[in-house]
Amino acid sequence: MSGKGKDSLLGNKIAAGLLTAGLIFWGANRIASIVVPSEAPKTPAINVPGLQTAAAPVVAAAAGLESIIPLIATGDVAKGAAFVQQQCAACHTLTSGGAAGVGPNLYGVMGSPMFSGSFAYSDAVKDKAKGNWNYDNINAWLAAPMTFAPGTGMSYAGIKNVQTRADVVAYLRTLSANPLPLPTADEIKAATAAPAATGAPATAAATAPAATAEAAPSIDTLFATADLAKGKALVMQQCAACHTLAKGGAPGVGPNLYGIVGAKSFSAPGFNYSAAVKGKAGATWTDDTLSAWLENPMGYAPGTMMAYPGIKNAQTRADVIAYLNSNSDKPEKLP
């Protein structure tokens, strides 16, 4: 046993420790309240029509995210598997005992401790490793990895369509000798009843997954405000790695896109299209069909080789289509 002197010394140390901790806590709170305004501005400073409010993507993406819980039981495992093969398998192995690649092996990931496999995880995800992967946290992670864990090593834009996320997770759960149980009726009820349970701010409505590919509204009204320069910049950045755009350009990973608006779909001579799009070949690319394709290539032609998640913002699609239309000998008359 320790003597009295040591005890009171220990007492002093504890008191000093508590005081220091208190000061640090107080200081941190002060700093946080200075750095982070407690309330978002009521109206965005700049209001560009058609541009989604880029000011609050973090809050909106996390809080307004539609739950996959009601969709898991009916999720299409085959579609999920095809999607994962196409978009994830370049970085992740899926078989039991598979080696880590660019990312960790995903066998048995559902229900397992987060970011805890044998893999050199980035620092960005280390403090997100709280508990096990469940239907809620995997939903948020796959919707927007960089929002979930800014700086993550998973350079993947995310899956915006809630049904696609559900299909992918329905598939991931099968990669296990002992799959995570499906959501219970009560959990489904809770998820359906309270989509805003996480305190979704009003702005979240803007990013709510209301318009899916199936019910995509026409973008006809958006060409009047289309910005060719923006469309061109996006195409150079996101499409030109796979597509040439100049007249007579050679096919790359994808076919040449000169004169594509108004052309016969999936019919460029000399390009070897995937079986997935053959059934859709020979129609005419209109602004509406191109819009549906570019919004969600995998939804439009499941299994397509075009490994591109799609352009969710309708005005951005209009910008891109207006630019593609201008890149032609005889541009079509857009609405």
Name residues contacting ligand HEC, limited to 3-32 (CB under 6 A): none
What tokens were used for 193?
A: 């009843």
Please tell me whether residue 91 binds ligand HEC under the rule CB under 6 A: yes
Q: Residues with Cβ < 8 Å from 244, sequence gap 6 or more?
A: 250, 251, 252, 256, 257, 258
DSSP state of 264: B
Please tell me whether residue 117 binds ligand HEC under the rule CB under 6 A: yes
Figure out which of the listed residues 68, 72, 109, 170 binds ligand HEC, where binding follows CB under 6 A. 109
DSSP readout, 126-185?
Answer: HTT--SB--HHHHHHHHH-HHHHSTT-S--------HHHHHHHHHHHHHSSSSPPPPPPH
Please tell me whether residue 161 binds ligand HEC under the rule CB under 6 A: no
Angle at 302 between CA 274 and CA 209, to 5 degrees: 145
Please tell me whether residue 143 binds ligand HEC under the rule CB under 6 A: no
Figure out which of the listed residues 273, 287, 291, 299 binds ligand HEC, where binding follows CB under 6 A. 273
Please tell me whether residue 107 binds ligand HEC under the rule CB under 6 A: no
Taking the C-alpha atoms of residue 230 and residue 207, their distance in angstroms, rounded to an integer, is 21
Angle at 63 between CA 121 and CA 67, to 5 degrees: 85
- x/- mask, ligand HEC, residues 51-90, rule CB under 6 A, reads ---------------------------------x--xx-x
Taking the C-alpha atoms of residue 332 and residue 321, their distance in angstroms, rounded to an integer, is 11
Least distance to ligand HEC, CB of residue 103, Å: 3
Please tell me whether residue 156 binds ligand HEC under the rule CB under 6 A: yes
For ligand HEC, give the closer residue by CB, 152 or 161: 152
Least distance to ligand HEC, CB of residue 133, Å: 6
Given a contact cutoff of 8 angstroms between Cβ atoms, the answer to whether 114 and 132 are in contact is yes
Figure out which of the listed residues 72, 82, 306, 318 binds ligand HEC, where binding follows CB under 6 A. 306
Please tell me whether residue 231 binds ligand HEC under the rule CB under 6 A: no
For ligand HEC, give the closer residue by CB, 171 or 203: 171
Taking the C-alpha atoms of residue 238 and residue 227, their distance in angstroms, rounded to an integer, is 16
Query: 267: how many CB neighbours lie within 10 A of its CB?
Result: 14
Least distance to ligand HEC, CB of residue 73, Å: 19
DSSP readout, 66-98?
Answer: PPSGGGSTT--HHHHHHHHHHHTTTT---STTP
Binding site for ligand HEC (CB under 6 A): 84, 87-88, 90-92, 102-104, 106, 109, 114-115, 117, 121-122, 124-125, 142, 152-156, 159, 168, 235, 238-239, 241-243, 253-255, 257, 260, 265-266, 268, 273-274, 276-277, 294, 304-308, 311, 320
